[in-house]
Amino acid sequence: MAENKRRKIHEELEVVKEGFANGVAPGFPLNDLQKQHMIEDATEAFGAFLTALKCDWENDPNSNETPRRVAKAYVNDLWAGRYTAMSPITSFPSDGYDGIIIERNIPLTSMCSHHHQVIGGVVHIGYIAGDNGQVIGLSKLNRIVELFGRRGAIQEQLTSAIHNAVEKITEGNRGVIVTVVATHNCVSCRGVKHGGASMITTKASGVFRQNTNLARKEFFDSIKINNGGHQI
Protein backbone atom coordinates (compact mmCIF):
# COMPACT_ATOMS: atom_id res chain seq x y z
CA MET A 1 0.00 0.00 0.00
CA ALA A 2 2.97 2.34 0.61
CA GLU A 3 3.44 2.92 -3.13
CA ASN A 4 -0.03 4.51 -3.23
CA LYS A 5 1.03 7.37 -0.96
CA ARG A 6 0.92 10.79 -2.56
CA ARG A 7 2.92 13.85 -1.58
CA LYS A 8 2.01 17.46 -2.18
CA ILE A 9 4.53 20.24 -1.70
CA HIS A 10 3.20 23.58 -0.60
CA GLU A 11 4.02 25.25 -3.95
CA GLU A 12 1.24 23.14 -5.48
CA LEU A 13 -1.22 24.64 -3.00
CA GLU A 14 -0.42 28.33 -3.61
CA VAL A 15 -2.88 30.39 -5.64
CA VAL A 16 -2.13 33.96 -4.48
CA LYS A 17 0.24 36.27 -6.34
CA GLU A 18 3.79 36.09 -5.01
CA GLY A 19 4.63 39.05 -2.82
CA PHE A 20 1.08 39.77 -1.70
CA ALA A 21 0.54 39.84 2.08
CA ASN A 22 -1.38 36.55 1.93
CA GLY A 23 1.06 34.98 -0.53
CA VAL A 24 4.66 33.85 -0.25
CA ALA A 25 7.58 36.27 -0.36
CA PRO A 26 9.65 36.55 -3.55
CA GLY A 27 12.43 33.98 -3.43
CA PHE A 28 10.43 31.72 -1.11
CA PRO A 29 11.48 29.82 0.91
CA LEU A 30 14.05 32.07 2.54
CA ASN A 31 17.14 30.60 4.17
CA ASP A 32 18.37 31.66 7.61
CA LEU A 33 20.77 34.26 6.22
CA GLN A 34 18.07 35.83 4.07
CA LYS A 35 15.74 35.97 7.06
CA GLN A 36 18.42 37.63 9.15
CA HIS A 37 18.98 40.29 6.47
CA MET A 38 15.22 40.85 6.33
CA ILE A 39 15.09 41.27 10.11
CA GLU A 40 17.88 43.85 9.95
CA ASP A 41 16.12 45.82 7.20
CA ALA A 42 12.76 45.63 8.96
CA THR A 43 14.32 46.71 12.27
CA GLU A 44 15.68 49.87 10.67
CA ALA A 45 12.37 50.55 8.91
CA PHE A 46 10.27 50.05 12.03
CA GLY A 47 12.57 52.33 14.01
CA ALA A 48 11.92 55.02 11.37
CA PHE A 49 8.18 54.31 11.69
CA LEU A 50 8.28 54.90 15.46
CA THR A 51 10.32 58.05 14.95
CA ALA A 52 7.68 59.33 12.52
CA LEU A 53 5.13 58.77 15.30
CA LYS A 54 7.21 61.03 17.59
CA CYS A 55 8.31 58.13 19.78
CA ASP A 56 11.79 58.51 21.29
CA TRP A 57 12.26 54.75 21.17
CA GLU A 58 16.06 54.89 21.15
CA ASN A 59 16.18 56.47 24.64
CA ASP A 60 13.13 54.75 26.11
CA PRO A 61 14.33 51.65 28.01
CA ASN A 62 11.00 49.92 27.32
CA SER A 63 11.11 50.62 23.59
CA ASN A 64 14.75 50.61 22.50
CA GLU A 65 14.57 46.96 21.42
CA THR A 66 11.03 47.22 20.03
CA PRO A 67 11.96 47.57 16.33
CA ARG A 68 14.00 44.35 16.44
CA ARG A 69 11.37 42.54 18.51
CA VAL A 70 8.67 43.45 16.00
CA ALA A 71 10.83 42.51 13.00
CA LYS A 72 11.67 39.10 14.50
CA ALA A 73 8.02 38.50 15.40
CA TYR A 74 6.92 39.10 11.80
CA VAL A 75 9.60 36.94 10.20
CA ASN A 76 9.64 34.07 12.70
CA ASP A 77 6.03 33.97 13.89
CA LEU A 78 3.31 36.30 12.62
CA TRP A 79 4.20 36.00 8.92
CA ALA A 80 6.22 32.78 9.05
CA GLY A 81 3.97 31.23 6.39
CA ARG A 82 5.34 33.73 3.86
CA TYR A 83 8.97 32.80 4.44
CA THR A 84 9.28 29.24 5.75
CA ALA A 85 8.44 26.14 3.71
CA MET A 86 6.11 23.50 5.07
CA SER A 87 7.22 19.90 4.79
CA PRO A 88 5.47 17.91 2.04
CA ILE A 89 2.01 16.64 2.96
CA THR A 90 1.51 12.91 2.51
CA SER A 91 -1.93 11.50 1.80
CA PHE A 92 -3.02 7.87 1.84
CA PRO A 93 -5.69 5.81 0.07
CA SER A 94 -8.99 5.81 1.95
CA ASP A 95 -9.23 2.00 1.63
CA GLY A 96 -12.96 2.22 1.08
CA TYR A 97 -13.78 4.44 4.07
CA ASP A 98 -16.61 6.65 2.82
CA GLY A 99 -17.67 8.43 6.01
CA ILE A 100 -17.03 12.04 6.96
CA ILE A 101 -13.69 12.99 8.52
CA ILE A 102 -13.77 16.05 10.79
CA GLU A 103 -11.10 17.87 12.73
CA ARG A 104 -12.52 20.56 15.01
CA ASN A 105 -11.08 23.51 16.87
CA ILE A 106 -7.77 23.83 15.05
CA PRO A 107 -6.17 26.94 16.63
CA LEU A 108 -5.82 29.91 14.29
CA THR A 109 -3.58 32.94 14.72
CA SER A 110 -3.43 35.27 11.76
CA MET A 111 -3.16 38.95 10.94
CA CYS A 112 -5.55 41.29 9.18
CA SER A 113 -3.97 42.57 5.96
CA HIS A 114 -5.79 45.90 6.29
CA HIS A 115 -4.68 47.07 9.74
CA HIS A 116 -2.13 44.46 10.83
CA GLN A 117 -4.19 43.50 13.85
CA VAL A 118 -4.47 39.95 15.17
CA ILE A 119 -7.15 37.55 13.94
CA GLY A 120 -7.65 34.73 16.44
CA GLY A 121 -10.01 31.80 16.49
CA VAL A 122 -10.48 28.23 15.35
CA VAL A 123 -10.82 26.33 12.09
CA HIS A 124 -13.06 23.30 11.54
CA ILE A 125 -12.33 21.03 8.55
CA GLY A 126 -14.43 18.19 7.20
CA TYR A 127 -14.15 16.04 4.10
CA ILE A 128 -15.36 12.78 2.62
CA ALA A 129 -12.56 10.92 0.89
CA GLY A 130 -14.82 8.51 -0.99
CA ASP A 131 -14.02 4.98 -2.11
CA ASN A 132 -11.10 6.05 -4.31
CA GLY A 133 -10.05 9.21 -2.50
CA GLN A 134 -7.13 10.20 -0.32
CA VAL A 135 -7.00 10.89 3.42
CA ILE A 136 -4.61 13.28 5.16
CA GLY A 137 -2.67 12.64 8.35
CA LEU A 138 -4.49 14.47 11.13
CA SER A 139 -1.68 16.84 12.10
CA LYS A 140 -1.27 17.86 8.46
CA LEU A 141 -4.59 19.70 8.59
CA ASN A 142 -3.11 21.79 11.42
CA ARG A 143 -0.04 22.45 9.29
CA ILE A 144 -2.20 23.69 6.41
CA VAL A 145 -3.94 26.12 8.77
CA GLU A 146 -0.55 27.36 10.00
CA LEU A 147 0.82 27.73 6.46
CA PHE A 148 -1.97 30.05 5.32
CA GLY A 149 -2.81 31.58 8.69
CA ARG A 150 0.69 32.85 9.46
CA ARG A 151 0.45 35.61 6.86
CA GLY A 152 -1.48 38.75 6.20
CA ALA A 153 -5.06 37.64 5.67
CA ILE A 154 -8.64 38.47 4.91
CA GLN A 155 -10.80 35.84 6.60
CA GLU A 156 -12.84 35.08 3.50
CA GLN A 157 -9.69 34.50 1.43
CA LEU A 158 -8.08 32.50 4.23
CA THR A 159 -11.11 30.20 4.38
CA SER A 160 -10.89 29.63 0.63
CA ALA A 161 -7.14 28.98 0.74
CA ILE A 162 -7.49 26.30 3.43
CA HIS A 163 -10.44 24.70 1.63
CA ASN A 164 -8.69 24.64 -1.74
CA ALA A 165 -5.54 23.10 -0.26
CA VAL A 166 -7.47 20.29 1.42
CA GLU A 167 -9.43 19.71 -1.78
CA LYS A 168 -6.26 19.37 -3.84
CA ILE A 169 -4.62 16.98 -1.39
CA THR A 170 -7.68 14.72 -1.04
CA GLU A 171 -7.89 13.97 -4.74
CA GLY A 172 -11.03 12.06 -5.65
CA ASN A 173 -12.95 13.38 -2.62
CA ARG A 174 -16.73 13.66 -2.53
CA GLY A 175 -16.65 17.02 -0.78
CA VAL A 176 -14.70 19.38 1.47
CA ILE A 177 -15.99 21.93 3.96
CA VAL A 178 -14.07 24.51 6.01
CA THR A 179 -15.49 26.86 8.64
CA VAL A 180 -13.45 29.59 10.32
CA VAL A 181 -14.70 31.28 13.50
CA ALA A 182 -12.54 34.23 14.54
CA THR A 183 -12.38 37.54 16.35
CA HIS A 184 -10.63 40.54 14.82
CA ASN A 185 -8.67 43.07 16.84
CA CYS A 186 -9.24 45.60 14.07
CA VAL A 187 -12.90 45.55 15.16
CA SER A 188 -12.31 45.54 18.93
CA CYS A 189 -9.34 47.98 19.10
CA ARG A 190 -10.13 50.60 16.43
CA GLY A 191 -13.02 51.98 14.42
CA VAL A 192 -16.24 50.78 16.01
CA LYS A 193 -14.30 49.31 19.00
CA HIS A 194 -16.71 46.44 19.61
CA GLY A 195 -15.21 43.59 21.60
CA GLY A 196 -16.70 40.11 21.58
CA ALA A 197 -17.91 40.12 17.97
CA SER A 198 -16.85 37.12 15.91
CA MET A 199 -16.92 36.35 12.21
CA ILE A 200 -17.92 32.98 10.73
CA THR A 201 -16.98 32.02 7.18
CA THR A 202 -17.59 28.73 5.40
CA LYS A 203 -16.53 27.33 2.06
CA ALA A 204 -17.95 24.03 0.86
CA SER A 205 -17.66 21.85 -2.21
CA GLY A 206 -19.16 18.59 -3.43
CA VAL A 207 -21.86 17.07 -1.25
CA PHE A 208 -21.39 19.75 1.42
CA ARG A 209 -22.79 22.47 -0.85
CA GLN A 210 -26.34 21.14 -0.50
CA ASN A 211 -28.14 22.55 2.56
CA THR A 212 -30.27 19.42 2.81
CA ASN A 213 -27.34 17.00 2.65
CA LEU A 214 -26.90 14.87 5.78
CA ALA A 215 -23.12 15.20 5.63
CA ARG A 216 -23.41 18.99 5.85
CA LYS A 217 -25.76 18.66 8.82
CA GLU A 218 -23.42 16.19 10.51
CA PHE A 219 -20.53 18.62 10.10
CA PHE A 220 -22.39 21.60 11.57
CA ASP A 221 -23.85 19.48 14.37
CA SER A 222 -20.34 18.33 15.20
CA ILE A 223 -18.91 21.84 15.44
CA LYS A 224 -22.05 23.24 17.14
CA ILE A 225 -22.92 25.73 14.41
CA ASN A 226 -26.21 25.49 12.55
CA ASN A 227 -26.69 26.01 8.82
CA GLY A 228 -27.60 29.63 9.42
CA GLY A 229 -24.12 30.24 10.75
CA HIS A 230 -25.07 30.99 14.36
CA GLN A 231 -23.19 29.66 17.34
CA ILE A 232 -25.38 27.42 19.50
CATH of the domain at 109: 3.30.1130.10
| pLDDT value, residue 10 | 56
pLDDT at 17: 77
Band (11; pLDDT cuts 50, 70, 90):
low
Question: What pLDDT does 230 receive?
Answer: 43
> Based on the domain organization, do 109 and 216 belong to the same domain?
yes
CA 69 to CA 73: how far, in whole Å? 6
Q: What is the pLDDT of residue 4?
A: 58
List, for residues 123-176, the tens digit of each pLDDT value. 999 999 988 788 998 899 999 999 999 999 999 999 999 999 999 999 889 999
Question: Do 100 and 211 fall within a single domain?
Answer: yes
Q: Is the pTM of this model over 0.75?
A: yes
52 and 125 part of one domain: no
Question: What pLDDT was estimated at residue 87?
Answer: 83
Q: Tell me: do 212 and 127 sit in the same domain.
A: yes
Query: Residue 229: is its pLDDT beyond 50?
Result: no
Indicate whether 130 and 65 sit together in one domain: no
Structural domain span for residue 37: 32-83
The domain spanning residue 66 has which CATH number?
A: 1.10.286
Residue/partner pairs of 7-12 with CB below 8 Å, 24 or more apart: 7/88, 7/89, 7/90, 7/91, 8/88, 8/89, 8/91, 8/168, 8/169, 9/88, 9/89, 10/85, 10/86, 10/88, 10/89, 10/147, 12/168
On whether both 215 and 140 belong to a single domain, the answer is: yes
Task: Tell me whether residue 57 is in a domain.
Answer: yes
Condensed to tens digits (0 to 9), the pLDDT of residues 41-70 reads 999 999 999 999 999 999 999 999 999 999
Residues 166 and 113 in one domain: yes
**Percent of the chain predicted with pLDDT > 70:** 91
Q: Same domain for 95 and 195?
A: yes
Task: Answer yes or no: do 201 and 140 share one domain.
Answer: yes
The answer to whether residue 105 is domain-embedded is yes
On whether both 49 and 103 belong to a single domain, the answer is no
pLDDT at position 89 is 87
Of residues 82 and 9, the one with the higher pLDDT is: 82
Q: Are residues 171 and 96 in the same domain?
A: yes
pLDDT of residue 228: 46
Distance CA 173, CA 157 (A): 22
In contact, 134 and 6? CB cutoff 8 Å: yes
Say yes or no to pLDDT of 9 above 60: no
> What's the pLDDT at 13?
74
Count: domains in the chain: 2
pLDDT at 30 over 90: yes
Average confidence (pLDDT) over 208-231:
78
